[in-house]
Amino acid sequence: MDVTRITLDENELPKRWYNIAADLPTPLDPPLNPQTKEPITPDDLSAIFPMSLIKQEMSTDRWIDIPGEVRDIYALWRPTPLYRAMRLEKALKTPARIYYKWEGVSPPGSHKPNTAVAQTYYNAKAGIERIATETGAGQWGSALSFATRLFDLECTVYMVRISYDQKLYRRVMMETWGGKVFPSPSNKTECGRRFLAEAPDTTGSLGMAISEAVEDAATHEDTNYALGSVLNHVMLHQTVIGLEIQKQFEIAEETPDVMFGCVGGGSNFAGAVFPYIGDTLQGKADSPRIVSCEPASCPTLTKGLYAYDFGDTGKMTPLLKMYTLGHDFVPAGIHAGGLRYHGNSPLLSKLTHEGYMDAVACKQTDVFKSALLFARTEGFILAPETAHCVHSVVEEALRCRQTGEEKVLFFCGSGHGDFDLVAYDDYLNGRIVDPEEPTEAIKRSISKLPEV
Amino acid sequence: MDVTRITLDENELPKRWYNIAADLPTPLDPPLNPQTKEPITPDDLSAIFPMSLIKQEMSTDRWIDIPGEVRDIYALWRPTPLYRAMRLEKALKTPARIYYKWEGVSPPGSHKPNTAVAQTYYNAKAGIERIATETGAGQWGSALSFATRLFDLECTVYMVRISYDQKLYRRVMMETWGGKVFPSPSNKTECGRRFLAEAPDTTGSLGMAISEAVEDAATHEDTNYALGSVLNHVMLHQTVIGLEIQKQFEIAEETPDVMFGCVGGGSNFAGAVFPYIGDTLQGKADSPRIVSCEPASCPTLTKGLYAYDFGDTGKMTPLLKMYTLGHDFVPAGIHAGGLRYHGNSPLLSKLTHEGYMDAVACKQTDVFKSALLFARTEGFILAPETAHCVHSVVEEALRCRQTGEEKVLFFCGSGHGDFDLVAYDDYLNGRIVDPEEPTEAIKRSISKLPEV
């Protein structure tokens, strides 16, 4: 079927999220209390999360109903389109057929609101009045500001100071939706004041911002914390992406042979592919090849260790079993800020460790080269994060050109690049470079993993 | 039907544009050669436009086929969704039902590519290798850069210098698609060099940029000129919007009572409503009330004269019969740059003059107040231009609340505000003001209209 864009009606919006924990061959290793090294209990988390989300985090039910109020808001932009990238295929002279899911149509411009809306709903139901969070590049802070506004909750965003200073547009987007944005470290929290006292001129870091948001939530009765990736319930909420993709490929009468996605914390790609892996785990279908695409300068899945580690630099979170470069690994300042994370989703890590998913690392210059080709053939200007999987698709399509294979390739278009145009400007003017591969730094930080 | 978003399949994309010139009660007054004051001939225009577009400009055929190659590109984002703004209705406690068409989903983020793609197609067919144009805020330049890239044409954009300096993101968007962007006045053209000699520190103006682009096109065999609004063929191409709206309202089982749109040159609103006015002119249906929304600081339709005037400040264009504030009227520097135009579409002007359309003028502070309400209820952050009609919808919905009328209100969502967030920042921080009404300035510039 030669169609550019496969849309679904509002009534085809999935009614349930798919929980892959139900189908894992062996259970996920539990998060551990960093003091006792014992599995954490629901009560350990109740100071910062509502019980409904804690239950989802630990659930092994295969299907979890999407509340009507959440679906009503999803309907503002979902179901999102599945595209056939025919102009890109033509430019590559490939016999492969290339498809992508386009999450850039949401008001904040990415997949992040799929979980921001759900998390806000459950917090609102629990009587919470304010949510605190951190944001680096601003995608997650935007999504949560958007979601909290629609449920009349307040939102406090600790934004890494260097982003706060440089990314005016992202900050104003959050404020337009009513989010209160503070440069982190701030003097709003005890740990923030400590960070500032230690280094008054610090540019901040995601690790510091997480610490501030968690402290804010833990020390205020009416306030909870929300995380935009990594955790199981975040992966769960994102499966709305993959469930739509399955319907859309059915309409297109195609089956994907290889699926690519960019992976930082893992949520957009997990959302896209967990329903496919689930079918495999249930013996219902052969799995496509599934490939996570990460930056060569932060190669968590390709060069990291599968081990227990902290989720944050400040060592405040539970220990998670995941691929990690070590909690004090500091990635180079590449433009794909959303992929600069030392760890990864425990679910995605386990599935990678057990061979259900592959991973590749991409160089920044290659990534922008492919992003430019995509913009100039398909029109959409992608976020630098998304551009990582586009590059992998381009490479695979060129291999197909050599072998003559008519493979069906897919990538998850996690977000648009409207606020990343400075990065494109840098690329167009030869100012994008590839940081040195961080082999020694990884060795050092991995040697400091906590003992379990 | 309580649905948030009415989508159409790709195969419901209109196959023909609707040409309202076929149904006008009396013919449009022709454009005049400014020297001879005689109606211009196709040959007068052939130095800068391909003959196919000149024919469309003068055509009185009711339907004009959309070429397959143009529809293939439209399919990247069209049909666009029609939304029911239920959250806005609820916030306003109005019995009115509010709908909007959302053109912000195109790669450049507005309705402009509907004509950019068509114009580029006809130029490519005519063997033209490069298109020159001007851009103010950057929406049109982005759309043409996008369109020319997909047809492998070159694109030269003369961007008003102050925008070039202030709107980095817009400039880089054009360059990402391969557009060559020069701050205007530039030293690339004779008139540009003259403007620079006269005022080396000028911030530039749309009038100067038009002169440069026209000169560039007129003096290069392989180069044509393209205009993003005002002309008949531009209105024609935009009717794809209204034809989709008619299908979508049919699905919703609704008929709009009042239709609002923002009007600068007039193209997005003409595109949305001409099919409706056409049905009225053909005696097929009663017309909804149709209301153009313009800025109080540039009140072309509400305070201008219906007369022949130049399309540009530099007096290079043919004389057009239209509502005008006078070709040397300089509007205050409001954020809705796309509405800062002294003239208007001759077609939209005639229909307004003959009572088929109304017009209202809105104050900038009111406009941003309503834009913020929209963002905080419906999620999408709109361009300041679009926000003008949102404000009019809000006012009408509040009137309905008083009268209890269950009217169906519509507005055309012409584009997103991702690149206008500085304006929202100004509003949130009390830096948006209402310029004084330009009564005296209008008197002065209208007194200088050319004699015909």
DSSP string, B399-421: HHHHHT---EEEEEE-BB-GGGH
Query: Domain coordinates of chain B in residue numbers?
Result: 78-109+238-446
pLDDT surpasses 60 at A241: yes
Residue B163, pLDDT score:
87
pLDDT surpasses 60 at B1: no
pLDDT surpasses 90 at B404: yes
Contact B176 A105 (CB under 8 A): no
Phi, psi angles (nearest 5°) of residue A379: 95, -40
What CATH number should be reported for the domain whose range is B78-109+238-446?
Answer: 3.40.50.1100
**Which residue among B3, B109, B379 sits closest to A146, beta carbon to beta carbon?**
B379
ipTM: 0.96
Phi, psi angles (nearest 5°) of residue B430: 70, 20
pLDDT surpasses 90 at A371: yes
Strand partners, A411: A100, A260
User: Would you put residue B417 in left (φ > 0), alpha (ψ -120 to 50) or beta?
Assistant: alpha
- Pairs from B46-50 (Cβ < 8 Å, separation ≥ 24): B47/B217, B47/B218, B48/B214, B48/B217, B48/B218, B48/B224, B48/B225, B49/B224, B49/B225, B50/B122, B50/B123, B50/B125, B50/B126, B50/B128, B50/B224
Q: Name every chain B residue with its beta carbon within 8 A of the beta carbon of A373.
A: none
Residue A321, pLDDT score:
98
pLDDT surpasses 70 at A199: yes
pLDDT digit string, tens, across residues B215-262: 999 999 999 999 999 999 999 999 999 999 999 999 999 999 999 999
pLDDT digit string, tens, across residues B29-45: 999 999 999 999 999 99
pTM above 0.95, yes or no: yes
pLDDT surpasses 60 at A1: no
pLDDT digit string, tens, across residues B268-313: 999 999 999 999 999 999 999 999 999 999 999 999 999 999 988 7
H-type alpha helices, B312-451? 346-353, 364-378, 384-403, 421-428, 439-446
pLDDT digit string, tens, across residues B153-192: 999 999 999 889 888 999 999 999 999 999 999 999 999 9
In this structure, the strands spanning B319-324 and B82-84 are unpaired
Q: Name every chain A residue with its beta carbon within 8 A of the beta carbon of B172.
A: 421-422, 424-425, 428
Q: How confident is the model at residue A331 (pLDDT cuts 50, 70, 90)?
A: confident
In A, what residues contact B, Cβ < 8 A?
3-5, 7, 9-10, 72, 75-76, 83, 87, 105, 107, 109, 146, 149-150, 168-169, 172-173, 175-178, 372, 375-381, 418-419, 421-422, 424-425, 428
Contact A173 B421 (CB under 8 A): yes
pLDDT surpasses 90 at B134: yes
Of B105, B51, B60, B107, residue with least CA distance to B82: B105
Residue A166, pLDDT score:
85
Contact B172 A380 (CB under 8 A): no
Residue A42, pLDDT score:
95
Q: Which of B176, B368, B377, B416 is the best mutation test for A, with the most CBs of A within 10 A?
A: B176
Which pair of tokens denotes residue A388?
A: 């990582």
Residue B316, pLDDT score:
83
Q: How confident is the model at residue A334 (pLDDT cuts 50, 70, 90)?
A: confident
**Residue located via tokens 């086929």:** B65
pLDDT surpasses 80 at A15: yes
Q: Name every chain B residue with its beta carbon within 8 A of the beta carbon of A380.
A: 76, 107
Phi, psi angles (nearest 5°) of residue B292: -80, 140
